[in-house]
Amino acid sequence: MKNIFNNLKRIIGISLVLFTISSCEDFLNPEPTSATSGETFFKTKADFDLAIQNMYDGIAGLNSTQSNDNHALQVEFYVTEMRSDNTETKASEGEAAQFENYTLESTNGIVDDYYRSYYDVIFRANTILDNAAVLATPEPYEAEAKFVRAYAYFNLVRLFGEIPLVDRVIGISDTDIQFTRVAVSEIYSLIENDLLTSISGLDNTYQNRASKAAAQTLLAKVYLTQGINYLDAQTLCESVMSSGFTLESNFKNIFYNELNNEIIFAISYVSDNSADSQNFSAEWLNAVGRTSGVNYVTADAALFLDANGGDRTMYSYRIDSGQPTKKQVVKYLPNGDTGLGIAATSSNPVLAGNDWIVLRYADVLLLHAEAILAGGNTTTAQAALNSFQLVRDRAGLTTPVTEITRQSLLDERRAELVFENHRFFDLVRFGEAQNVLSAFSTATGGSFNATDLLLPIPQREINLSLGQLNQNQGYN
């Protein structure tokens, strides 16, 4: 009897200890009630709507002059247009001049800014995708997040080549995912799958958010970039061409009548609003922004536009009135130009509201002709001629075109889309980047090599990876 009693005491004692331990866990990990956390945030559609906005905020980037902030799209012109024959810095100074001189260092802060910004956008999209299962109908949110993820990866893979493939939210210990570069083909297969999901799950409601037409245009460009599926690319373009978009009749209005009928996908900015404005428009002027002037028009581009731009030339570049030997971009002016009939878009030019156009209808028409050209040298197919002629007619170049060559198409894309961050990618896609840029670099005293077609992996990432990430060729 005494034995049983003793045992009972022991059992109660042990249970008490167990109970104490388990209640301790609850006590130490309370559910926060007054603050939101990532783990408990996503419950309703309204929460996901906020997360969707958060993705576009990530692409728009911060309007700040802090080099540690993520500026994303606002520094894209450095890594694209300023590496082409279209633009350069005004003073050829500092790390901004590494782009035009083809002397990029792996420590370049702007390259690092773009890289981490776009992986941040991918993180924002992955956050939605990882949580979407709590919704009864997650499909529209997944379709939109996948478009944004595909858009970010498409830019990164074209700029950096092999890159880490992060297709879910990763933690601090997932260093293998964070620091393993995967084959370009693997990145493209994620992009294609994401865009196919977007095409089936989206409609054409928005121009400043993902849409079916934006996903179709992007997928056509993804196919053309890889030199595959020309027929699918053509069909995708034709589907966009029957979706109600039109060319803006006046070239100037593409940029100064925001969200007009030519816009397929734009990133919106709000003027005079420090949280939602942009400063790249001011940076392109003479010491209006923080720099003395970047993304200035090269002599090569000005000569080209004079010869090939038609009505587009006067709305593409102008003489810098503060330094008449230099030329500035007219697309995206923040403080207007009375001579050209362009009103200021904001009272403070460094808080500019000019939207950035990612995809517009003229791009689709020229991609349509490119898809029909299908990697060949010439085409006389009427469908291609029609699309090509529409773009030229708007520029006042109404002489009927009877044949499109690779070169004439590449030239038309330069004249139409100059200073819109297309040129570098177009040169690479047409296989002309090495020829054109080495000749350009020789003329301007730069030091272009074939390895300059890829950006360096930021040194900060390589350091963080403890040497696991390897550098692109041509960089130390």
Partner 1 sequence: MKKQFKNIIWLPVLALLAFTVQSCDDFEQFEPAGANSKADQTPPMASFSYSQGQGDGEVWKDYSFANLSTSATTYMWIFEDGTTSSEVDPTFTFPGEGEYTVVLTASDALGIESVFSDVIDVVEPELPEAIVPEILEASFEDNSLADGSGDGRDSWRNSALGGVIQITSSPVQNGSQAAKFPSSGDRIAYQELIVSPNSDYILTYYYTLKTNNPGSVTVSVLADGGHIDLAAALAAKIEDFEGTDQTSSSDYVQGNISFNSGANSVISILITNQGEEARVDNFSIAAQ
Contact residue for partner 1 among 123, 406, 444, 460 (CB under 8 A)? 406
Q: Does 206 bind partner 1 (CB under 8 A)?
A: no
Q: Does 444 bind partner 1 (CB under 8 A)?
A: no
d(CA 115, CA 113): 6
Question: Segment 11-70, which members bind partner 1 (CB under 8 A)?
Answer: none
Q: Does 379 bind partner 1 (CB under 8 A)?
A: yes
263 vs 372, which CB is nearer to partner 1?
A: 372
Distances (CA, A) of 363 to 154, 240, 317, 329, 343: 17, 11, 20, 19, 26
Residues forming beta bridges with residue 318, ordered by sequence position: 328
**Total length of the chain:** 476
Question: Segment 237-256, which members bind partner 1 (CB under 8 A)?
Answer: 238
d(CA 344, CA 285): 13
Of 40-48, 73-81, 172-180, 368-376, the window that binds partner 1 (rule: CB under 8 A) is: 368-376
d(CA 380, CA 369): 10
162 vs 258, which CB is nearer to partner 1?
A: 162
Structure tokens at 79: 């890594």
Structure tokens at 261: 């009928």
DSSP category for residue 277: -
**Tokens 């997932």, located at residue:** 174
Of 73-81, 262-270, 341-349, 445-453, the window that binds partner 1 (rule: CB under 8 A) is: 445-453
Q: Are 405 and 384 in contact (CB under 8 A)?
A: no
Of 90-98, 204-212, 263-271, 401-409, the window that binds partner 1 (rule: CB under 8 A) is: 401-409
Q: How far is the CB of 473 from partner 1 (least distance, A)?
A: 5
Of 55-63, 118-126, 253-261, 373-381, the window that binds partner 1 (rule: CB under 8 A) is: 373-381
d(CA 78, CA 455): 11
Contact residue for partner 1 among 140, 381, 444, 460 (CB under 8 A)? 381
Q: How far is the CB of 316 from partner 1 (least distance, A)?
A: 26
Contact residue for partner 1 among 23, 53, 449, 463 (CB under 8 A)? 449
Distances (CA, A) of 271 to 65, 124, 276, 334, 335: 17, 25, 7, 9, 11
Q: Does 184 bind partner 1 (CB under 8 A)?
A: no
Contact partners, residue 419, CB within 8 Å, separation at least 6 = 77, 81, 86, 87, 295, 297, 316, 317, 329, 331, 332
Contact residue for partner 1 among 372, 401, 418, 455 (CB under 8 A)? 372
d(CA 87, CA 327): 10
d(CA 351, CA 276): 8
Q: How far is the CB of 264 from partner 1 (least distance, A)?
A: 19
230 vs 251, which CB is nearer to partner 1?
A: 230
Q: Does 314 bind partner 1 (CB under 8 A)?
A: no
d(CA 433, CA 416): 18
- Among 378, 331, 321, 323, smallest CA distance to 354 is for 331
Contact residue for partner 1 among 263, 384, 395, 415 (CB under 8 A)? 384
Q: Does 227 bind partner 1 (CB under 8 A)?
A: no
Q: Does 329 bind partner 1 (CB under 8 A)?
A: no
Q: Does 218 bind partner 1 (CB under 8 A)?
A: no
Q: Does 411 bind partner 1 (CB under 8 A)?
A: no
Contact residue for partner 1 among 20, 33, 34, 377 (CB under 8 A)? 377
Residues forming beta bridges with residue 404, ordered by sequence position: 379
123 vs 430, which CB is nearer to partner 1?
A: 430
Beta-sheet pairing, 263-267 with 356-360: antiparallel
Contact residue for partner 1 among 67, 378, 398, 463 (CB under 8 A)? 378
Q: Are 419 and 87 in contact (CB under 8 A)?
A: yes
Residues 413-442, one symbol each (x = binds partner 1 by CB under 8 A, - = not), give -----------------xxx-xx--x----
Residues that bind partner 1 (CB under 8 A): 230-231, 234-235, 238, 372, 374, 376-379, 381-384, 405-407, 430-432, 434-435, 438, 449-451, 453, 473
